[in-house]
Structure 1
Amino acid sequence: MADLHFELVTPEKLVRSEDVYMVVVPGSEGEEGVLAGHAPYMTTLKDGNLAIYRTQGSQPQTLRVSGGFAEVGDNGLTVLAESAE
């Protein structure tokens, strides 16, 4: 399976821009796993952890995000967060 292009952006800077296997997003309706080829959608974020899987079967790297939006489109997953740690 092709990699998912993932970008994490805050008002201050571009935090991440990389190709990964999967990202689990803390959406306002619950956690949502996004892989390459996911159907387009947009959701608001709740405060929580993004889980970033670089490869299939790997342990996730987590980043705490607060507020914002996540959008899946033709270019991959873009997370626009109010803050990220």
Structure 2
Amino acid sequence: MLHFELVTPEKLLRSEEVHMVTVPGTEGDFAVLEGHAPFMSTIRDGQILIQRSPGAAPESIAIRGGFAEVSAKGLTVLAEHAG
């Protein structure tokens, strides 16, 4: 499972284990699974799609601005605004 955190300047909105997260990067959407290579990307306004398990319908959360970091610990999305 992938550890996923969604953070805004106000608070930590999500911290959970999920199957996959699709993020609206400024260079295009990218999906992150457990074991993804480390990288950072700025994000554009759009929808984060959170898939809790393989084959599950994704949950969508609107975000505006910020950046995403994939590390050995998982995926952290620092959004200017979410919800």
Q: For this structure pair, what is the TM-score category when the shorter chain's length is used for normalisation?
A: over 0.9
RMSD of equivalent CA atoms: 0.3
Give the match for residue 66 of structure 2.
Answer: 68
Give the match for residue 51 of structure 1.
Answer: 49
Residue 7 of structure 1 and its aligned partner are, at CA, apart by: 0.1
| Alignment counterpart, residue 13 of structure 2, candidates 15, 34, 43 | 15
**Divergent runs of 4+, >6 A:** none
Post-superposition CA distance 1:20-54 (Å, at most 9, x none): 00000000000000000000000000000000000
TM-score, structure 2 normalization: 0.99
Aligned residues: 83
Gaps of 5+ in 1: none
Distance (whole Å) between structure 1 residues aligned to residue 13 and residue 65 of structure 2:
15
TM-score, structure 1 normalization: 0.97
Q: Does 1:36 align with 2:34?
A: yes
Gaps of 5+ in 2: none
Distance (whole Å) between structure 2 residues aligned to residue 69 and residue 49 of structure 1:
13
